[in-house]
Amino acid sequence: MLKCSRVIKVIGAAFLLCALASCSQQFTRQSCMAISSQAQYCLAPTVKALNAQSEISLSQMISMSHGQDNHELLTQLELTSQRMTLVGLAPLGQALFTLVYDGHTLQSEQSRLLGDTFNAEYLMAIMQLIYWPTLQVNQQLTDAQLLDTPCASALCKQLVDADGEQISISYSELNPWQANISVTIKSADILLHITPLE
């Protein structure tokens, strides 16, 4: 009877793993993407952001507003000299997506609940616009420029293309890794508030 119970548990665990696996799908994504209607951005190597640090690990809460819709997302950003990893979780902890960029290829695994049209790599590009040095970002941009601009906050940046300002970023302090950050994406009518978590 005990052996039978163990077999049932093993079979049940196997079915559960299969069910979980079927809830996600994997993609090989393009590392270059349209960042506005006029501009393209190609993901930069991670070593460009590390400076003297060997690795960076950052947990964040992202609040997103789009029209009347409001959403929250937990993210974990991991940087080493070899790769950039971005994991997205729903507020209750369900895994939504995992992106891994090794400087050449971008692999994406995401929940089927997000649908086939959800492109998490756009969020990875926004993270690079936020945290990478402005000079390094501009080397990856086509038909646009990221500019440091004067403002009432500790630091502000604007991505400007042929249509004018498309993305604006403001930081609560000069060290972006510790700052509360607001991002306005004009063309998509999206406002992001990014708060680092301890």
Closest of 189, 128, 178 to residue 155, by C-alpha: 178
Of the candidates 62, 59, 84, 60, which has an alpha carbon nearest to the alpha carbon of residue 72?
Answer: 62
Residue type, 11: I
148-152, Cβ contacts within 8 angstroms, sequence gap of 24 or more: none
Q: 15-47 pLDDT, tens per residue? A: 333 333 445 556 566 789 999 888 999 999 887
Percentage of residues in the chain with pLDDT exceeding 90?
56
Mean pLDDT of the 156-179 span:
94
What are the tens digits of pLDDT across the range 63-120? Answer: 999 888 898 999 999 999 889 999 999 888 888 899 999 988 999 888 776 666 667 8
pLDDT at position 8: 36
Q: Could you count the other beta carbons within 10 Å of the beta carbon of residue 88?
A: 20
The residues, any chain, with a CB within 8 Å of residue 29's CB and separated by 6 or more, are: 99, 106, 107, 108, 119, 121
Cα separation, 23 vs 18, in Å, equals 9
| Cα→Cα distances 135→19, 122, 125, 147, 189, Å | 45, 20, 15, 9, 26
Alpha carbon distance 123, 9 (integer Å): 40
Mean pLDDT of the chain: 83
